[in-house]
Structure 1
Amino acid sequence: MTWKLTEAIKRTGILKQGHFLLSSGRHSKQYMQCALLLQYPQEAKETGKALAGLFDDLSIDTVVGPALGGVIIAHEVAHALQVRCLFTERKEGEMQLRRGFEVKPGERILVIEDVVTTGGSVKEVIRLLEEQGAEIVAVGSIIDRSNGKHNFSVPYRALTAIEIESYDPSECPLCRQGTPVVKPGSRTQK
């Protein structure tokens, strides 16, 4: 049987229903929790292979993923491409390379995230790596929730696009109904 992302999404239940506060500050009735997919090594491996296949036309030295959501999938993509993998993490609100990780000037980097909504974390990673002289060749994700609003300066490819409606908190129908809001992600608002 051939592995398919749509079946894996259903199988692992990553699309959650409720009232969610997104990292962007917006509210939504749905949330994509890709960690539920990536908790299974075989699903993570197949997802990484499929995502890596979107970039096999590019010369890539290193894959970098923002913590927390991008760590596992970046590693699986790097494994499939047979290149090095790093991750960034926040310290005092700033995206950083830590744990002795370094990039070299001219190093060709693919930035990988689990879900792209506004692209905020990815843009922080790009800025950090470009400041260190790296060349960002592309961005990829499992899920594109951006509705084309990511505005990356490099090519962006995703395994699938899913449109999920979101609301400004002042216009959120769930808030008006009194439904409690949940903050499911790892990124805190600025």
Structure 2
Amino acid sequence: MTTEEVLGIFREAGAVLEGHFILTSGLRSPVFLQKARVFMHADKTEKLCRALAARIRQEVSGSIDYVVGPAVGGLIPAYETSRHLGVPAIWVEREGGVFRLRRFEIPQGARVVIVEDIVTTGLSIRETVECLRGIGVEVVAAACIIDRSAGKADVGVPLVALAEYEVPAYPADQLPPELAKIPPVKPGSRNI
């Protein structure tokens, strides 16, 4: 699946929004990819995650024991991608602001791939890697549907992206004048 095909699915779902958005990372952007509008359609989600699973198989050598999704954004793509990889899906969630594997036990040495929806700075994946390594799990790679950084985000492990789509993102104190004129909206899930 090409980047244009992935973006086509997002456009069909009305998930490419324009305005002034506060991203989960805290950066500001004139474009927001509202993946919830894609994930509400099982057929679109299945198509994207099937393609992501195929890309993971191509780029990750060796076995995979689990797919791990960071809550909240990674839950749906992790589950659907795990279905296509034929392995269990589990997730980490925030407890006191820190990712923890609260609901599951995972054997030490298990080989996992972290699956996220969209990567901008890679912070959620880095925090998930830290959590999993802290309990003795081997994180062999991370994967995402769209890498907004176009390969620039350092997630701490190899990153497999179904699509790369670089969208401008700015610190709040460095906004271009046209963006500064628009009231910001914060649609992400970081504080959930």
TM-score w.r.t. length of structure 1: 0.91
- Is 1:150 paired with 2:150? no
Partner of 1:63: 67
SS in 1 for 2:56: coil
CA deviation string 1:85-131 (max 9, x = no partner): 001111221111122x1221110000000000000001000000001
Change (3 A) 1:31 1:117: same
Partner of 1:19: 20
Q: CA deviation at 1:6?
A: 3.4
Q: CA deviation at 1:174?
A: 4.7
RMSD of the alignment, in Å? 1.6
Q: CA deviation at 1:170?
A: 1.1
Q: CA deviation at 1:43?
A: 1.2
Partner of 1:125: 128
SS in 2 for 1:55: helix
TM-score w.r.t. length of structure 2: 0.90
- Residues of 1 paired with 2:23 and 2:132: CA distance? 25
Partner of 1:160: 163
Partner of 2:47: 46
Instruction: Verify the 8 A CA contact 1:19 1:174 in the aligned structure 2.
Output: no
Partner of 1:81: 85
- Residues of 2 paired with 1:145 and 1:132: CA distance? 29
Instruction: Verify the 8 A CA contact 2:126 2:156 in the aligned structure 1.
Output: no
Letter in 1 for 2:133: E
Identity of aligned residues (%): 39
CA deviation string 1:128-178 (max 9, x = no partner): 00011000011100000123322133221111111111111112135642x
Letter in 1 for 2:78: A
Change (3 A) 1:184 1:125: same
- Residues of 2 paired with 1:55 and 1:28: CA distance? 29
- Residues of 1 paired with 2:165 and 2:57: CA distance? 23
- Is 1:169 paired with 2:181? no
- Residues of 2 paired with 1:39 and 1:82: CA distance? 22
Instruction: Verify the 8 A CA contact 2:66 2:113 in the aligned structure 1.
Output: yes
Partner of 2:101: 97
- Residues of 1 paired with 2:150 and 2:34: CA distance? 18
Change (3 A) 1:108 1:164: same
Letter in 1 for 2:126: K
Change (3 A) 1:15 1:133: same
Unaligned runs of 5+ in 1: none
- Residues of 2 paired with 1:7 and 1:15: CA distance? 10
SS in 2 for 1:167: coil
Matched pairs, number: 184
- Residues of 2 paired with 1:176 and 1:36: CA distance? 26
SS in 2 for 1:45: helix
CA deviation string 1:48-79 (max 9, x = no partner): 11000011143110000111111000001100
Unaligned runs of 5+ in 2: none
